[in-house]
Chains A and B, each alone.
Chain A
Amino acid sequence: MPSHTFMLNGKQVTVEAEDDVRLLWVLRDLLGVTGPKYGCGLNVCKSCTSHINGKAFNPCSVPVSKIKPTDEITTIEGLPATVGKDLHPMQEAWLALDVAQCGYCQPGQIMTAVAKVRQARAAGHEIGDADLDEIRNICRCGTYSRIRAAIKAGAEHM
């Protein structure tokens, strides 16, 4: 079986898997990293959102063979370490505003939020309602308004 090496949450990992197995299942079923959730497997719900080299992406729609040894994959579990703290400011904002209900979508929401704030800044502005309207992550519990408030609050400390 082919083996695949990449950086996962700051550590190098090597895993044996067929080339076409999507990264989500390599993370969840083979490596036991369960922060990224399955909600569709179709790049639609965004509950698996993680980062590759600091950008948001959806591992349910990427075969593991497309990940290069130098690629840095960050899941919700590795987000705090990217700022050298116990919690990333976006996670702090999520706690302050008590965003979660069932919580299933929230790891993906937080990973999306961080990337969205960076994307807005790269485009030369702070995150606003037009950016927030672009977020596709489903929250079936309907926590959207607290998510919006938390992203704006978290951005202030990013």
Chain B
Amino acid sequence: MAEHRRSPNGPDAEPGGLGRRRFLGYLLAAPTLAVAVQWGAESLDPPTAEAAIPSLPQPEDLFDLGDLQNLAALPTSGLVSVQVNADGTASFAVPRAEVGQGMTTAVAMMIAEELDLPLDKVIVTLADARPELLMNQLTGGSNSMRSMYVPVRTAAAIARQQLVAAAARQWNLPVAELGTRDGVVTHPSGRSATYGSLAAAAAATRTTAVSAPLKSPEQFRILGTPQNRVDARDIVTGRKTFGMDLRVPNAKPTMVRRPPTINGTVGSVRNADAVRAMPGVTDIAVVSHGVAVRGETFGQCIDALRALEVTWGPGTVDTESDDTVLRKVRAAELPLAVPPLLSQHVDAEFTFAFASNSPLEPDNAIADVRQDSAEIWSSLKVPIVAQQEIAAMLGLPPDAVTVHVVQGGGSFGRHLFHDVAAEAAEISKAMGKPVKLMWSRTDDFRHGRTHPMCTSRIRATYLLGAVLSFEQRHTSVRTDFSHGLGEMITSTAAQLPVAGNLGFAETIFELTQSSPYDFGVTTQLLNEVPLGFNTGSMRNIYSPNVVCAQELVVDQLAARMGKDPVAFRREFLKDDRLRAVLDKAADAGEWGRSLPPGVAQGIGLHAEYRAAVASLVEIDCRPETVQRKVPDGVTGPRVTRALIVVDPGFAINPRGLEAQLIGAMNDAIALGLTSSLHIDNGIPLEGSWDNYFYTRQWNTPLDLKVIVLPPTTGKPGGAGELGVAPSLAAVACAYARATGTMPTSFPINHDTLAFTPYPLEPSTPQSPVDGLDFAY
């Protein structure tokens, strides 16, 4: 793999080698200083040297999803640029989506570091769709930090170098005598000039290639230190503008009356004229999967869509329910290869229900489609694909469609797809007017993308203190990856260390899954069932389910061999970084401390995105806890104490990483204990947050700690998704130990429907009118 990891920029190692390699960028002809860089392969890690181990390294050990995305980025001709402005600020339009993961803060830190500029002088905005960046404009797989770390710093370092050169020219002094601090170039004589005053003089008149060295980690003053979010003040004052808050002239509120089954179609509308005459309603249009209404307020859109009388055509999964889907998934399970002969074995099968990746801000988009052009505003992680597909749908050339990426109130995988943007464009075209389309909360749960149902079957054989084989067969309703990663695969598949013509999902699976244990012959395989559900990746894709199943079986093996779960893991781990986080977690989390009956600890481990994580939780399954009463909510067991220990390689912003891991723990608690979708005759029954039981305050741990280990590799690992898998595993393992029964179906409360579903028709429930009765 080594040849893939060399920079195309050919960084020239300086003779004398103090590690001061220079990195290449371009000065752009511009009124003030502008430095561009290519997204490069610099962030690709050297191949992990594998110790001599009986188990062959699985592909994920060598080359993970983030690497694949970085590699696919190589041939792009697109440049991204840092500009220094006359007011002394630096700006950068990042070709990624910000949905809460703290990416803009981390990028601002990189620029502030190399430019020697205060953090609050760095302005990071979100770039519009830029087709020339090809697949490099994709936010997912937690690769943002890794792919930007070197290029962004390079641009900022070159900018700093040019500012110093400009000052040296003006003062007629040697460059070597000048320094920079807090946005000012200084000379020991006391002379100084702000970056703002030098921004024009440092600008280039034609594009030229230049190079500059990057700071070494010992020189960092900002990177690696805890920093608050750059948008924190806008958030707490209500000023942050989300997609839902954007105002575009005449883009009036618009909603859709939807069919009672997923992907149903419109037969006929009986009372369109009467509804069009309702107060505040301006337009009605039939579109692919419903009837759109546009009005003065969203409230009036709800009234109007509820008043519509519509007959519906069938959807794509009308006859499917939880039990029919499970039967089909089970029928597709690939066989286990190792017969349980002459050795002892553990056989287990786990089922994971459908789950929703719906963020709190519902899907929304503004579209203004004209005769010859269109303009779209939406939170999109793959804006280039959105632009291409919407253009094709509208019959316009791609460059006639402008796609603006706006701030999103969460994503969790949902914004990899542009369903809502495409629907907004379709509606705007049909009405001939700009629209601000919002899916209702109920639409988001019932018609939005889901993380599909899957099973994981495991057989492990063991003899005389050794594990001889570990086989995992993961089977899932097909996950839709059509958001464009496919293009990356076609350009890079031949270089992957995986054999044959694997489907894309299988490749993603291979790249993200890897058993960290020395369990002899190890195979982990994926099979998928194509059904007509709207699916997509959810935070950490396959890992939460795969790792949860794996770690539960690891606990079983430990018990069979009479070993403590932590001691057993330590003995069989292949990876030193995982062993280090395990030891730290066991120590700081007081593994083995005495707890009352019904309360127990559990541990889960996972390495992915070039990082290693251990989660240790304590769960309280005593009746007085399980039977707590909360109106219209579920309680059940409570994770009272949780600890996550992470070795991220290098944490760009430890405070931001900690936040991501806190979120991951709450996701894991929901997936393990409370949150799922119940599919019933072609549609999920869940319609609000009192049906889809994402973790609430009454179920969040009272004591939740994150320990970020000091730098190990010096290279940033992915952060946004990292913690979900080991935390779900820890919750499941703790539950098994507290109750004495290994759970095999997740979430554990899925079999009881703990709410009364909203009616399927009309598709959006009416808002209550008694809100004042509950004021406190």
Task: Name A residues whose Cβ lies closer than 8 Å to a Cβ of B.
Answer: 1, 17-18, 20-22, 24-26, 28-30, 32, 34-45, 47, 52, 55-63, 66, 75-77, 80, 87, 91, 94-95, 98-107, 110, 115-116, 119, 129, 132-148
Instruction: Report whether A145 and B662 are in contact in the complex, using a CB–CB cutoff of 8 Å.
Output: yes
Instruction: Report whether A142 and B664 are in contact in the complex, using a CB–CB cutoff of 8 Å.
Output: yes
Report the bound CA distance from A43 to B232 in whole Å. 26
Instruction: Report whether A75 and B238 are in contact in the complex, using a CB–CB cutoff of 8 Å.
Output: yes
29 pairs of residues in contact across A and B, judged by CB atoms under 8 Å: A20-B769, A21-B297, A21-B300, A24-B299, A25-B300, A39-B441, A41-B302, A42-B767, A42-B768, A44-B689, A45-B689, A57-B771, A57-B774, A77-B238, A80-B237, A95-B232, A98-B655, A101-B102, A102-B99, A102-B410, A103-B100, A107-B236, A138-B360, A139-B360, A140-B694, A141-B410, A142-B663, A142-B666, A148-B697
Across the interface, B299 reaches (CB within 8 A) one of A22, A40, A58, A80, namely A22
Instruction: Tell me the dominant secondary structure on chain B's binding face.
Output: loop
Instruction: Report whether A103 and B235 are in contact in the complex, using a CB–CB cutoff of 8 Å.
Output: yes
Q: Which residues from chain B contact A56 at a C-beta distance below 8 Å?
A: 775-776
In the assembled complex, the CB of B758 is this many whole angstroms from the nearest CB of chain A, namely: 9
Q: Which residues from chain A contact B239 at a C-beta distance below 8 Å?
A: 35
**Closest chain A residue, CB of each to CB of B758:** A42
Instruction: Report whether A25 and B297 are in contact in the complex, using a CB–CB cutoff of 8 Å.
Output: yes
**Closest chain B residue, CB of each to CB of A64:** B299
Report the bound CA distance from A104 to B408 in whole Å. 8
**Closest chain A residue, CB of each to CB of B438:** A38
Q: Which residues from chain B contact A136 at a C-beta distance below 8 Å?
A: 633, 696-697
In the assembled complex, the CB of B405 is this many whole angstroms from the nearest CB of chain A, namely: 14
Instruction: Report whether A115 and B238 are in contact in the complex, using a CB–CB cutoff of 8 Å.
Output: no
Report the bound CA distance from A61 to B768 in whole Å. 5
Report the bound CA distance from A40 to B694 in whole Å. 14
Instruction: Report whether B697 and A47 are in contact in the complex, using a CB–CB cutoff of 8 Å.
Output: no
Known contacts A21-B300, A100-B232; is A45 also within 8 Å of B698 by CB?
A: no
Across the interface, B775 reaches (CB within 8 A) one of A41, A52, A80, A100, namely A52
Instruction: Report whether B360 and A115 are in contact in the complex, using a CB–CB cutoff of 8 Å.
Output: no
Given contacts A63-B769, A77-B237, 13 further A-B contacts (CB under 8 A): A25-B299, A35-B237, A38-B362, A61-B767, A95-B228, A101-B102, A102-B99, A102-B410, A138-B360, A138-B694, A141-B100, A143-B663, A145-B700
Report the bound CA distance from A132 to B698 in whole Å. 8
Report the interface size class on chain B.
35 or more
Instruction: Report whether B701 and A145 are in contact in the complex, using a CB–CB cutoff of 8 Å.
Output: yes
Q: Which residues from chain B contact A25 at a C-beta distance below 8 Å?
A: 253, 297-300
In the assembled complex, the CB of A54 is this many whole angstroms from the nearest CB of chain B, namely: 9
In the assembled complex, the CB of B232 is this many whole angstroms from the nearest CB of chain A, namely: 5
Report the bound CA distance from A137 to B776 in whole Å. 14
Across the interface, B297 reaches (CB within 8 A) one of A17, A66, A76, A105, namely A17
Instruction: Report whether A59 and B361 are in contact in the complex, using a CB–CB cutoff of 8 Å.
Output: no
Instruction: Report whether A37 and B697 are in contact in the complex, using a CB–CB cutoff of 8 Å.
Output: no
Q: Which residues from chain A contact B298 at a C-beta distance below 8 Å?
A: 25, 28-29, 38, 41
- The yes or no answer to B704 lying at the interface (CB within 8 A) is yes
Q: Which residues from chain A contact B701 at a C-beta distance below 8 Å?
A: 145
**Closest chain B residue, CB of each to CB of A100:** B235
Q: Pick from A47, A63, A75, A115 the residue with the most CB of B within 10 Å.
A: A63
- The yes or no answer to B494 lying at the interface (CB within 8 A) is no
Instruction: Report whether B300 and A18 are in contact in the complex, using a CB–CB cutoff of 8 Å.
Output: yes
Across the interface, A61 reaches (CB within 8 A) one of B280, B667, B769, namely B769
Report the bound CA distance from A122 to B563 in whole Å. 54
Instruction: Report whether A41 and B361 are in contact in the complex, using a CB–CB cutoff of 8 Å.
Output: no
Instruction: Report whether B244 and A115 are in contact in the complex, using a CB–CB cutoff of 8 Å.
Output: no
In the assembled complex, the CB of A131 is this many whole angstroms from the nearest CB of chain B, namely: 10
- The yes or no answer to B194 lying at the interface (CB within 8 A) is no
Instruction: Report whether A129 and B702 are in contact in the complex, using a CB–CB cutoff of 8 Å.
Output: yes
In the assembled complex, the CB of B214 is this many whole angstroms from the nearest CB of chain A, namely: 27
In the assembled complex, the CB of A47 is this many whole angstroms from the nearest CB of chain B, namely: 6
Known contacts A34-B244, A37-B244, A100-B229; is A106 also within 8 Å of B235 by CB?
A: yes
Q: Which residues from chain A contact B666 at a C-beta distance below 8 Å?
A: 139, 142, 144
Interface residues in B210-268 by Cβ distance below 8 A to A read 228-229, 231-242, 244-245, 247, 253
Instruction: Report whether A45 and B441 are in contact in the complex, using a CB–CB cutoff of 8 Å.
Output: yes
Instruction: Report whether B768 and A43 are in contact in the complex, using a CB–CB cutoff of 8 Å.
Output: yes
Known contacts A39-B360, A60-B767; is A34 also within 8 Å of B245 by CB?
A: yes
Q: Which residues from chain B contact A76 at a C-beta distance below 8 Å?
A: 236-238
Known contacts A59-B771, A104-B360; is A146 also within 8 Å of B240 by CB?
A: no
Across the interface, A43 reaches (CB within 8 A) one of B228, B235, B361, B774, namely B774
Q: Which residues from chain A contact B360 at a C-beta distance below 8 Å?
A: 37, 39, 45, 47, 102, 104-105, 138-141
Q: Which residues from chain B contact A41 at a C-beta distance below 8 Å?
A: 298, 302, 440-441, 767
Instruction: Report whether B775 and A57 are in contact in the complex, using a CB–CB cutoff of 8 Å.
Output: yes
Report the bound CA distance from A48 to B397 in whole Å. 40
Q: Which residues from chain A contact B774 at a C-beta distance below 8 Å?
A: 43, 57-58
Q: Which residues from chain B contact A21 at a C-beta distance below 8 Å?
A: 280, 297, 299-300
Q: Which residues from chain B contact A100 at a C-beta distance below 8 Å?
A: 100, 229, 231-232, 235-236
Q: Which residues from chain B contact A95 at a C-beta distance below 8 Å?
A: 228, 232-233, 236
Q: Which residues from chain A contact B102 at a C-beta distance below 8 Å?
A: 101
- The yes or no answer to B762 lying at the interface (CB within 8 A) is no
Q: Which residues from chain A contact B767 at a C-beta distance below 8 Å?
A: 22, 41-43, 60-61
